[in-house]
Amino acid sequence: MKPYHVVWKGPIHNATGLGRASKAYARALKRQGVTIRIGASNHGRSPVSGKKVLIYHYLPSRIHMTKERSVYDPVILNTVWETSKTPKGWLANMNKFDAICVPSQHNKKALRNSGVTVPIFIAPHGVNTKEFHPNNKKLHVPNAAGKFTFVSVFGFQHRKNPEGLLRAYWEEFSSKDNVILVIKTNGYAAYENEKWIRQKISQYKKRLGIGKDTAPVVIIGRRLSESQLKGLYTLGDAFVLPTRGEGVGLPFLESLASGIPIIATGWGGQMDFLTTKNSFLIPYKLKNPSVSMNSQHAISRKFSNLFAQKGQQWAEPDLHSLRKIMRKAYEQPELCKQKGRQGRRDMTHLSWDRAGMRMKQAIEKVILAKKKGSG
């Protein structure tokens, strides 16, 4: 393989899951011996020999392909998607890339289902099991000590199904149960702060007509430090998220690495690594996102322009089953520990180095294919 270098354009400075993944991919490629620059080519720097490869980790609809093609060859998209089909506005641009990297089988299927014809490679997300591990000091949360603790981490949006989680918990547990639910969440605008999220949740509880005799819920709507986030996972006896769709689900990986089992919907990118041995899987039905978005239960940001297009589907988890599963986890803490130990073992095989190796292989296959095509 002749020398080449990669320019990575992606949200590596963002604190979001996407941003953290972008940074981890770029670092993983570097550890694989790939020469990589972030955000721009080597203009004004020491020259780098060989092909210039662009990996584009933003929305495919945003790329200026003619401009990028004048500088880079090949041009590869690294992307992720959560429903059964990508937004219609993405397709034309996606087929202009030389190849696409996605993190899960779920994503590959969604792209093919959307009409993508260029080569698709799977470069899975990873998790650092040295950073996320069962011995991390637990985050201190008032009144959580001695209680069975459900933990959840998600952005406050409809796809994550916050209303389903809250409703199942409120309806299943009362103040007589020695249990607590700790939710770490965030909004998507300045006004969507912790106070606003609490208010939305309080209003929803009133609307459901649920009384005061419910088990406690703690809402953390502020940003946590890395060590606090690690301690949030280990605080839990079980991680719960009845999500409607995930490209991967980074918190699932981090929770399992921390030895904490998962309660999650049995559909989405997480099914590449969630099993009945490390998780409790919630049954579901596939429906168009607009069904739940238009219901009286919707309490969070919808992003309907992306998710609710014609032909798209995602999972609607069965809330009665979720209630039964949460009760089972609560009543069988040893089973939770057993699944958590298995999850920890499973995650030791899912490193970011594996992700970097897969991406490097994809890059080199694309370079060789283009060479053969031009030859």
The answer to whether the CB of 53 falls within 8 A of the CB of 363 is yes
Residue 16 confidence (pLDDT): 82
Residue 44 confidence (pLDDT): 42
Q: What parts of the chain have a pLDDT lower than 50?
A: 42-46
Residue 372 confidence (pLDDT): 82
Residue 49 confidence (pLDDT): 67
Q: Which of 143, 134, 229, 207 is nearest to 181 (CA)?
A: 143
Residue 1 confidence (pLDDT): 75
What are the helix (H) ranges across the chain? 17-31, 65-69, 91-94, 105-113, 162-172, 194-208, 226-235, 250-257, 289-293, 304-307, 319-331, 333-347, 352-374
Residues 348 and 41: their CA atoms lie apart, in Å, by 35
Residues 86 and 106: their CA atoms lie apart, in Å, by 12
Residue 7 confidence (pLDDT): 96
Residues 259 and 132: their CA atoms lie apart, in Å, by 9
